[in-house]
Amino acid sequence: VAVIALRALAMNPNVRVNRYQSNATRTDILYELDGNTSGVRPGGLGYQLKKAYEALKLDTQGLDRVCLSCNNRGVRYKAV
């Protein structure tokens, strides 16, 4: 959620603020999202989100696709 919200903030134009507030610049927000794009090592919130998705593992070993006791139509697998 934070990655999507920050990406939306980066793409919106600046707004007026009073003397107690400050706008984050587009480059600062994109640096937090994408990290140093000219560097060798990846970083940023986008990279951390990608690593979290890669670490997520779903075990479907005990599920029988053809026959379930309560639902005779089986299990449907779909892309998210």
Q: What is the pLDDT of residue 49?
A: 87
User: Number of H helices and number of E strands within the chain?
Assistant: 3, 0
Residue with tokens 């994109």: 30
What is the number of structural domains in the chain?
1
74 contact partners, CB below 8 Å, separation of at least 6: 64, 65, 66, 67, 68
Residue with tokens 């107690």: 20
In this model, does residue 71 exceed pLDDT 60?
no
Quick: pLDDT tens for 48-63. Answer: 888 888 888 777 677 6
Q: What is the pLDDT of residue 74?
A: 55
Q: What is the pLDDT of residue 50?
A: 87
User: Domain of 76?
Assistant: 1-80
Quick: pLDDT tens for 22-32. Answer: 777 788 888 88
pTM of this structure:
0.54
